Structure 1
């Protein structure tokens, strides 16, 4: 299988109340390389997708979900911070991993001074997008 080089589009969130699927693209500070996308044996409607992401210091993903997808991530280098709606921020150091259940509103960021490398495995429906951006939760939205 030929390894495809991708980066995720990280433009601002959609206007209030709307959501849209993120398209492959470029944003300052975050790059991603898809390593695998393969249907699960015996479950032709689901696939395993793996990525290697690099987050530059100060980079922040917009709030998003992974529609009906399970996510497991492992921090290869650096200190990675993720934030889940209603649960606050969690920092993970090199060698730590985490699991996100389907449809949790969350975002990831690098609040450190060195790049973060993150290996991610997602089990997702073939027919659904990998990521859908959502408006920032009310509890974390910037005050006007």
Structure 2
């Protein structure tokens, strides 16, 4: 019975281990996307500063700069919202990885403990049967 339970626990640990790479890949992809968005936001900030340049003397250039600045503000807001969402998603994935790793560790430890107990029980039974056999032979 103990060996069967240990095997079941080992299988549960293997299942968690098999699910883990998917989450790690997702975490890496999220990190790449987050880094790209942060770099893009920095570039957009630079472009906004350039669009605010007030040294321009021509009216149509001022109008064009203002139009692009407004567009950059809108896009920056959209990217900031996406970044916030991705950061929350990254936190969730990281927590899931931690939970899965912890569960895998606990189940593996429990499987080892159950297997050890089953072996001890088997040894106790063998010793008891040998003692009984010796007593029967002496009689």
TM over 0.5: no
TM-score, normalised by the number of residues in structure 2:
0.15
TM-score, normalised by the number of residues in structure 1:
0.14
Larger Rg: 2
Structure number having the greater helix percentage: 2
| Greater relative contact order (CA < 8 Å, ≥ 6 in sequence) | 2
